[in-house]
Amino acid sequence: MSAASLPYGGPSLDVRNVFWLLASMAFVVAPHLERTPAWATIFCATMLAWRAWIAWAAQRFPSHWIIKLLTVGVTVATLYSYRTFVIGRDAGVTLLIVMASMKLLEMRTQREVVLSIYLGFFLVLTNFLYSQSIPLGIYLLFSVWFFVATLVGFHRVGRTPTMRERLVPAGLLLLQALPLMAVFFMLFPRIQGPLWALPQDARAGVTGLSDSMTPGNISQLIQSEGIAFRVRFEDRIPPYQTLYWRGPVMWNFDGRTWKASEFSRAATLEYSKAEKPVRYAVTLEPHGKHWLFALDVPATAPPGSSARDDLQLRSVRPVDQTVRYELTSYLDYQYGEKLAGILRRFALSLDEDRNPRAIALGRQWRDELGGNATAIVNRAFQFYNREFTYTLEPPMLGERDPYDEFLFETKRGFCEHYAGSFALLMRAAGIPARVVTGYQGGDINPLNNELIVRQADAHAWTEVWIENRGWVRTDPTAAVSPLRVEGGVNAALGPIGAMNSLIAADKFGVLSRLRYAWQFANSSWEQWVVGYNVERQRQFLTQLGLGLNIDWRTMALWLIGLTFLIGGAISLGLLVRDRPRRGEPSLVAWKRFCAKLAAAGLVRAPNEGPLDYLARVTKARPELEPDASEITRRYIDARYGSGATANEIRELRRRVRAFKAA
């Protein structure tokens, strides 16, 4: 038996090792299945099954021509599925998945095994292009563990290892890598801009407010329990009813839909009255649009954004990743006492052919009250307070005159029904009005005193322009359901969503505490892991005493120094742990075997391992191959395997004693 044909000669591509790799690949691809086209999922599963069949039944590998045809086919299918010749995030990930699955069909040698595993590591990273949540991070950590365990299995000498013999060494390797990983994460120079997003299609599938509002769209958003943003106040949290988080401002109205207008221009915010300042920091979740949310009303725009003359904040770039910004807002303010003629016309525009009864009612109030804006607003509030109901499930409204149906027939609606109809009535009464959408309220986490604003807190209200007072916030929802603005949607309508229902039913508050703990963990994760940007790194380095003016050269020196320090400490520990013990039976027997060969003129070189030494011995003395091969195999099993029994050690010693090289 030659050295090349020994069962322990290099990584064994036996069935169990191949199945471990296929299972690891399927595990890391699984989170992508909901995003990839159906054909890609079927193709990937087919490739994995084909490779498993090749390993199980010892079948032939496909020819290079088949691989080339498949490559062309999946490339064309990917480009067709995404209707683009520019490989963006979704198309690129799909192409990588199908190519990695095809690569398994070419896996014949150790080099191709390692390449497939490295492709698996790349697939791990692609999951972060879609989410950076804690559960996904834990899931992908297991993916890395399985790939490392697969690599251990392919390099195990002598026999195919058990599951424990794969997972334990792989886990130890990951633990040993943690210090270096932490050093590189904290000290490696950060880059500006999103690390885990691509501009072409990174905004796909984000939930949040829209730049238009029709009856029913905000009530649909209320069903979502997703987090919109988190807020940390410098001092005490303001009263709940003052927590209006300003977002898109709607000027355009076609009789049914209110839309944000590009008519608003960048402006310097100047208030004739600005009192009760509140300082806070917002951690905003990605929503794919340009607007930033601020407590009504912001004093200035944060860096990287601009303020509009309708008090809306807009980011220079779309919010495709979690962003953090600090703001100061005024709870008591006066703004816009002068209204330009073009803005006045814009804020009074109506489609006279739609919602005629609502328009007639507004004009009736104007005539009865002599155009007194304050009196007209109060009359409208009395109108809503008498007969209307605040509900999450309002009746469907027609396409042509939806607000007529709401005001005079159904009289059941959510905040967008009241805000939209109120602005319509005000415009009909000759009062400039616009709709503002955003969020109202929030949930305070007692663990860190952080305010959590969810999609379920989405809200719409109205602003009217009054002579000598400027733009004044008026919330008609408060006239119908005061609890909505004083305690939130759950206070007004009862628990919404499965989680809120469970928390409400929990008499001991366990679920509520668990939810707050989870939110606290998510907040810390977002702040110190996902949101660890240039600014955060600078703060961390300042705390270490490195100063604010640290440059790339200094950072590189620190990285190199700490890498050598930690790597050296780990290596020294491993050397001490694994140093050969003089009295180790298998090592003593091996040295005696080598001494016999050296006496015959076959001296082992210091850098020559057992297999290389065996290959040289059998080449020089073919007649020694059977005994030398058996002794070498038994030594490798005892020295590098899971441990030899006493009988196996005795058998190794016996064979060495009986071996004759002369």
**Same domain flag for 387 and 497:** yes
The answer as to whether 525 is a domain residue is: no
Of the residues 170, 187, 204, the one at which a domain ends: 187
| Total domains present in the chain | 4
User: Residue 249 has what pLDDT?
Assistant: 93
Among residues of the chain, what percentage have pLDDT more than 90? Answer: 39
**Same domain flag for 595 and 571:** no
The answer as to whether 279 is a domain residue is: yes
User: Closest Cα partner for 208 from 461, 435, 455?
Assistant: 455
3-state per-residue secondary structure call for 4-19: HHCCCCCCCCCHHHHH
**Same domain flag for 154 and 253:** no
**Residues with catalytic annotation?**
415, 459, 475
Domain that holds residue 543: 534-578
Q: Are strands 412-413 and 389-390 parallel, antiparallel or unpaired?
A: parallel
The answer as to whether 510 is a domain residue is: no
**Same domain flag for 263 and 391:** yes
The answer as to whether 37 is a domain residue is: yes
Beta bridge partners of 466: 470
| CA–CA distance, 288 with 361 (Å, rounded to integer) | 39
**Same domain flag for 305 and 432:** yes
User: Closest Cα partner for 240 from 479, 484, 460, 497?
Assistant: 484
**Same domain flag for 336 and 469:** yes
The answer as to whether 379 is a domain residue is: yes
Give the containing element (helix H, strand E) for 439.
strand 433-440
pTM given for the model: 0.64
Beta bridge partners of 144: none
**Same domain flag for 621 and 652:** yes
Residue burial 252-280, b: 16+ Cβ < 10 Å; e: rest: bbebbebbbbeebeeeebebeebeeebeb
**Same domain flag for 91 and 15:** yes
| DSSP label of 106 | G
CB 268 within 8 A of CB 313: no
Of the residues 578, 609, 633, the one at which a domain ends: 578
Q: What residue ranges of the chain have pLDDT lower than 70? A: 1-12, 85-87, 157-159, 190-208, 219-223, 262-264, 266, 486-509, 546-555, 574-583, 642-643
The answer as to whether 399 is a domain residue is: yes
- pLDDT tens by residue, 54-90: 988 888 889 889 989 999 999 899 888 888 765 678 8
**Same domain flag for 225 and 313:** yes
- pLDDT tens by residue, 214-224: 887 776 666 67
**Same domain flag for 411 and 373:** yes
**Same domain flag for 572 and 600:** no
3-state per-residue secondary structure call for 233-259: ECCCCCCHHHCEEEEEEEEEECCCCEE
Q: Helices (DSSP H) in 323-461: which residue ranges?
A: 341-348, 356-368, 373-387, 402-405, 415-428
User: Closest Cα partner for 202 from 318, 361, 371?
Assistant: 318
| CA–CA distance, 24 with 371 (Å, rounded to integer) | 73
The answer as to whether 92 is a domain residue is: yes
User: Residue 4 has what pLDDT?
Assistant: 37
| Joined tokens for residue 386 | 């008498």
How many CB atoms neighbour CB 287 within 10 A? 22
Of the residues 516, 550, 578, the one at which a domain ends: 578
**Same domain flag for 351 and 491:** yes
